[in-house]
Amino acid sequence: MSTSSSTIAAELRAQITSGVLLPGDLLPSAREIMRTRHVAIATASRVHALLRAEGLALPVPGVGTVVAEDRNSDSPRLRTRQPKNRQTQSATQGTVRLNAEWITAAGVAIADAEGVEMVSMRRVAHLLRTQPTSLYRHVTSKEDLVARMVEHALRKWSPGVEASDWRDRLIAGHRELWRVFRRHPWLAQQLSVTRPQLLPAALAFAEWAIQTFKHAGVSTEEAFEAHLLLFTQIRGMAILLEPEAEAEAASGVDADTWVEEHMSTLRDLTHRDHHAGLQALVGSGYELDLDQLFERGLGLLLDGITSRLHS
């Protein structure tokens, strides 16, 4: 059973009222809540909305959602906690032995938290407490770093649960791909179909898909095209993830709240222009859930591909 937004909000509320989280402290982002609590982005976004409604949290453009100074404050004090003692301070200021894997992992961590546009050699060096010039002994450029990050992220993919039926194997494997895209919202934007990255993990996924489709008794060419059709559809949905996360971080307003704020305008437009289909949705309580949309799309595409391959 998935955790509700009210349950997560209650846990954060307890930390705020008990003083574990203090005014100005940064709350977990919707993306982080989604990842750590295994909930949909809509559920994660509602956590912030609940705390904002109670005056316990405030959105800070370009920063995120922070604990409010008090219920009447609109300018929370931002600060960072200091190490408690010299031993802790010495440990946090220690250096790591640099290698390409450490650098890549740091780049992935920045991209996961703030978006790939925030990744730079200087930023990675700062995170690793070293100088930017020292990175170039292991990574030749930012382009090289991003390619390594893509490979690093795709290596997290696995074929999923083994099944005897090729269609079930495709469902399991593409659910795993969606999980990887969810874990790394910047990843889909970096992948190309017309000029594919020649990376081992990317080629391994394509080979798995082609061989799985071939179990349907089709040619390699048909299997390859079916793979591209499915992959581009899922990638296209995943491309929506990072811009939405960035918009929420910049504005402090999640997608559901944005829709609610614009509901009156949307209702007026649909009635004025006689959009009967949209009118039926407006105010009906329908919520766009990308995870649910992914599942429906995957099923519909595989139904169509299966029908076509056997026609």
At 103-155, the pLDDT tens digits run 998 899 888 877 888 899 998 988 888 899 999 999 999 999 999 999 999 99
pLDDT digits over 259-268, tens only?
777 788 888 8
State the CB neighbour count (10 A cutoff) for residue 177.
Answer: 25
The pair of structure tokens assigned to 271 is: 């009635």
Name, of 1-5, 6-10, 66-70, 193-197, the range with top average pLDDT. Answer: 6-10
State the CB neighbour count (10 A cutoff) for residue 304.
Answer: 12
Closest to 30 measured CA to CA, from 254, 278, 257: 254
pLDDT digits over 276-303, tens only?
888 888 877 777 788 889 999 999 999 8
Average pLDDT score over residue span 213-226: 90
User: Judging by beta carbons within 10 Å of its beta carbon (0-12, 13-18, 19+), is residue 286 exposed, middle or buried?
Assistant: exposed
pLDDT of residue 296: 92
pLDDT of residue 172: 93
Sequence-separated (6 or more) residues with CB below 8 Å from residue 51: 9, 12, 13, 16, 27, 57, 65
- Poorest-pLDDT segment among 77-91, 112-126, 187-201, 258-272: 77-91
- Poorest-pLDDT segment among 4-8, 45-49, 244-248: 244-248
The pair of structure tokens assigned to 75 is: 């300018």
Instruction: With cut-offs at 50, 70 and 90, classify the pLDDT of residue 90.
Output: very low
pLDDT of residue 62: 57
Average pLDDT score over residue span 82-110: 62
Strand partners, 57: 67
Sequence-separated (6 or more) residues with CB below 8 Å from residue 143: none
Please state whether the predicted TM-score (pTM) of the whole model is above 0.95. Answer: no
Tell me the residue type at 266: L
Average pLDDT score over residue span 89-107: 67
